Amino acid sequence: MAFKKIAKNLIILTLLIIAVIATGIFFNRNAVNQNQTSEIKVPLEINLLDPQPLPEINWTTTEGNIFSIPKNHFTLINFWASWCAPCVIEFPELIKFAKENPEFNLLFVSNDLHKNDIGKFVSSLPERSRKGLINSENIFMLWDNKGEITRDIFQTYKLPETYILDDRQQIVAKINGVLSQDAYSYLRGL
Amino acid sequence: MNLIIKKCASPHITFWVLIYMMLLLIFGTIAQKYIGLYGALDKYFYSWILWAGYMPLPGGLSVMSVFFLNLLARFLGYSVWTREKAGIHLAHAGVILLLIGGIISGISRTDTVLPMIKDELRGYTQSYDDAALTVYKNGLRIKQFNLNKVSDNQNLSHAELPFNLQVLNKCINCKITFDKKSGGMNLVDIPSEKDREQNLSGLTFKIDLSDSEETQKYLSFLFFPKPPTIKIDGDEYIFTTERVYSLLPFDIKLESFNIEYYPGTSTAKSYQSDVQIFDDGHSVPASITMNEPLTYKNYRFYQSAYETNNRGEYVSILAVVYNKGRIFPYLAGLITALGLALHILNILKGRLSQSAVKFGCLLILMISASSPALASDIKIGTDFKTLPVLHEGRIKPIDSFARLQLKKLSGSEAPFAEAPSATLARLIFNPYDAVRLNVFEIKNKSVLSAFGIAKRKDNLYSYSQLVNGLEKTRKEFIDILQDQNLKPDAYQSALTDIHNKALYFLQLVRSFSFAMPLEGSDSDAILDYRELQKNTILLRNALEAIRDEKGDDIDAYSAREKETAYMNYQLDTLEQTGKNNLLLRVIPSSDPREKFTTPWQVLTGGKGRPDSGEYIQNWIRLMVAYQAQNQHIWNRAVIDLKTNYDDQKTSPVLKAEYFYNLFNPVLISIILVFAGAITATFLTVQKINSGHKALFFTSVLPSLILGATILFRTFVLGRPPVGTLYESILFVSFILCMAGSLWAFIRQRINILPPVFILSGFLLLLAKSIDGDQDNMQVMEAVLNTNFWLSTHVLIITAGYAWCLLTSVIAHLELYKPNKKNKKTTLHLHAIVSLFLISLGTILGGIWADMSWGRFWGWDPKENGALLIALWLIWALHSRASKHLSQRGFETALAFLSVIIMLSWFGVNLLNVGLHSYGFVSGLAAALFAFIIFEMTLIGGLVWRLKK
């Protein structure tokens, strides 16, 4: 067994070890960090939908007038009823939001059977909310007493529910139940 | 020097050390079942001495050291770098580097864990299992005394502590006992748990205050809610037992933790921690997911698990590894694989050109399996059968869904002489008929007699037959479910089973109950749930008014009032049943986590959206057409639905799966493989060796069909088809058939085909038998859900299994009929190819594990299984080279490879421990045992025959 052979093999092995360590150091340098920027967080209760155009709907206001949604604005369609406790609680919050964010249309679609119930409810609202409702130009009170728009078109069987339309009047998201503060801040960011 | 190297490099050492390593591996793996992973690691693998009773044996570290020196000496003293031998030497150098990496990791590596909740900022990690007495002064941590390093009666002190602390007794795993006299608690040392993280570590101690005579005994253990607290000179000292902390050179904060589920299930698809690192005034945001760790300053953070704490918050669990030798296994593995590949090429050189590969012809098999004609109902049609439904996290055609449901209920995919989808249509569209269909399989006689039903030959019964029995045994069923400690006997299991089936069945038949006419509707105004629901408030108010006036006595109500009360009742009942109806998910959902939902969930769960209305309408049209037996409306509704669903872009995959179901290619493969075995046996006996057309069909057809099956599954599932045991068996059979046929062609040796086909036939039968009433196309657990690793590690390792089996078959043949020509190189080549695949697959698995969990090698049973195969092959190859084994001995060793494969493929599953949980199967033990006995007899017989 020649010493030369041993030395040669030793050199080969040492070179291999050095190569491995060098690669390790190189990769460690390069792998200092890997950053991924996270997208805007969507609150859990907001269900994003594939954008789809709003179907043809014959909206009627509580006064019995035909209504069409003003264009070039984001729109919230809130399905509610005066007998639905959570809807009643979120009502003033929604009014506040719409007043602060005039770039949004806010449509309250009532499922009450009798118009009286709506009137009674509105007059029982706190002073500020009632004024906000009457004076603002971006809040609209609509009435769907047969549930045709709510159930047959929007498939909403549980109140409250709120749909979000983008400025091209496409349905882009839906919120089951009451909007959380996270949801309001998400909407503000739109 | 020369002498030392010569002694160290002795092939005797290699021969015996490899044998000892294999034994150690087997015992150490089995021991995991009894003393846990850590216990086995300490006793067998990470020990210098292994105590077998009172007898000292070399432990894992000693053996590995000897193996390392042996290999190093051999490499240094005997490697001559010629072109022929370069591959071998390179492979050996790779193994040496691997072992050097092991040594470096052993010295430098620390493994800790970092559990964090949202917004938590931490500058330290904690040990998995080591605990320490931790002293806080005024809320600040002063000192940790590691319990592993303190002993009973030892005095502990620290500059910032104005007292001495004397350990009375410590226990790594404590049992808390209560002293009846004093009412105090004591800690008693008990043996360590199998899983050391479960140990309850603690200690009792007393504190000597220099100015006071009084000493008091204190007690502290992990998770103790009220740690001892004392006050000295206005300072408050708290003594807790906590995990040992290691400081990080930076701070890390968990910004958020997110889990993504498979649609409609609670199986996690993936989870992710968004963190922020704060270091020296700057911050770095990063994300950590499964398989994508974060590396920062030699620390690697892995997303290892998550749990929920008692406040209901998610706790993200990050494994933190600091390891300087991390790069070694990567490159060492690469070098070994490269060396083996080089060696294989070297052997093959000049041999492949002699024979041309004759494959090239593709056959398209069309079997027209017409669905049986339906007795009276409308024709269901292929379009209906391929409508999508979301089930167990995957969108599949109605046909697959129907097969699974029917198999679940009746034990058969098609219990009647009609397509499964047609039976499903009866169940969901015509409940009045459905309850009379015999779809419930009951085999247990005690259940039948408890239900009071006479036994039928086909063991199938209808819901209407079962109703009374179900009602009678409901309480018994609930008791069985609630008794956590109960090990149910055959009767109890069967009873639970039939109740579960009934619940399942009811969900199915009530899928569209919201649209069925309610009792009390007039013929001119059909009233269903939806109509009723629109008037909920009206109905509720009306009932309220009636009750205010007449109370709860129904008899006092007028006919009209009774009707109102009844409507209210129906509304409530339907809503209740509807809430739990989660099975037939065919309507697009507004919930982004599940693509489709059930119609009932749209109605009661708020999951509808404007476009789901059209789907519901069309499904109701289907129902009406079915009930009215109107083929025309049915066809139109199916076409409309199809158009609706086509927007979802799932159609071609669904069609593919439907045809897959229809042709049942696995069954066809089984038939072809056995037919192939018979033909090949006939040709072998007749000594027709080549050029025969039958040979082509015999060998190519099964491979083709199996290959097509695997491709199909890849297409349908959108991932490599090796995620489950079922799939890996299919894949092994395919490789075995294909490589076997290829070899038979190239070598012109048809006698290899019968054993190859019989073996793959039995493997396929095994696959069929483990395929219960679950969908065999499953979604994957989070850790397995990466296409890259599935397609590399798993594919290569399964191909390795197949090649080992082929090698074993060839070895059997050599023993049966020694082949004079070429006999040395053929087997040798196959053994090297097997070794190459197994080693490469194992190394890739190690890299995958390193990426996912932060450890290259974890002594998991499946890993040990693969290592055992590699060691067996290495041992056989080296023993042949060093003449410890004769050519016959080498052949015998390779023939036994089949046993080694079966042990490490299926055998380790029987241990039911470890990470590779995809393949846990029960009931395989007997088959495995029979196989081993059979092989021993066969190989023993063959060797004995040769000797004679």
Which residues of chain B make contact with A169, given a CB cutoff of 8 A?
none
CA distance B11 to B71: 10
CB-CB under 8 Å, B284 with A35: yes
CB-CB under 8 Å, A161 with B286: no
Question: What proportion of chain A, given as a percentage, has pLDDT over 90?
Answer: 17
Which residues of chain B make contact with A37, given a CB cutoff of 8 A?
285
Map out the domains of chain A with their CATH numbers: 46-188 (3.40.30.10)
Over residues A114-133, the pLDDT tens digits come to: 888 888 888 888 888 888 88
What is the average pLDDT across A104-111? Answer: 92
Size of interface A-B (CB pairs under 8 A): 128
Give the pLDDT band of residue B357 (cuts 50, 70, 90): very low
Average pLDDT over all residues of chain A: 84
Q: Which residue of B96, B287, B294 is in closest CB contact with A38?
A: B287
pLDDT of residue A78: 94
User: A104-110 and A74-80: which strand pairing?
Assistant: parallel
Residue B901 has pLDDT above 90, yes or no: yes
CA trace torsion B806, B810, B811, B813 (10° rounding): 140
Point out the least confidently predicted range of B366-380, B754-768, B879-893.
Answer: B366-380
Q: Which residue of A21, A27, A155 is in closest CB contact with B613?
A: A155
Residue B461 has pLDDT above 80, yes or no: yes
pLDDT of residue B784: 59
Average pLDDT over all residues of chain B: 82
Alpha carbon separation from B843 to B69, B123, B735 (Å, rounded)? 22, 34, 21
CA distance B655 to A52: 27
pLDDT of residue B793: 85
Contact B676, B694 (CB under 8 A): no
Residue B778 has pLDDT above 90, yes or no: no
In angstroms, the separation between the Cα of residue A113 and the nearest Cα of chain B is 8
CA distance B613 to B110: 58
Q: Number of C-alpha atoms within 13 angstroms, CB side, residue B895? A: 24
Point out the least confidently predicted range of B153-157, B204-208, B365-369.
Answer: B365-369
pLDDT of residue B27: 92
CB-CB under 8 Å, A35 with B285: yes
Over residues B180-215, the pLDDT tens digits come to: 777 677 888 888 887 778 888 999 888 877 666 566
Residue B811 has pLDDT above 60, yes or no: yes
Short-list B759, B776, B765, CA closest to B724: B776
CA distance A128 to B921: 68
B124 Cβ contact partners less than 8 Å away, ≥ 6 residues apart: B245, B246, B247, B248
Largest CA distance in chain B: 114
CA distance B152 to B166: 8
CA distance A176 to B593: 14
Closest-CA residue of B relative to A171 is: B610
Backbone angles phi, psi at B276, to 5 degrees: -130, 130
Give the pLDDT band of residue B75 (cuts 50, 70, 90): very high
CA distance A126 to A146: 28
Q: Which residue of B76, B606, B613 is in closest CB contact with A9?
A: B76
pLDDT of residue B628: 85
Q: Which residue of B6, B277, B604 is in closest CB contact with A1?
A: B6
Q: Which residue of B97, B296, B609 is in closest CB contact with A20?
A: B97
Angle (nearest 5°) at CA B432 between B430 and B437 = 85
In angstroms, the separation between the Cα of residue B235 and the nearest Cα of chain A is 42
Label each residue of B542-567 as H, E or C: HHHHHHHHHCCCHHHCCHHHHHHHHH
CB-CB under 8 Å, B533 with A20: no
Over residues B829-879, the pLDDT tens digits come to: 899 999 999 999 998 888 888 877 777 888 888 889 999 999 999 999 999
Closest-CA residue of A relative to B81 is: A9
Over residues B285-336, the pLDDT tens digits come to: 888 887 678 888 778 888 888 888 888 888 999 988 888 888 888 889 889 9
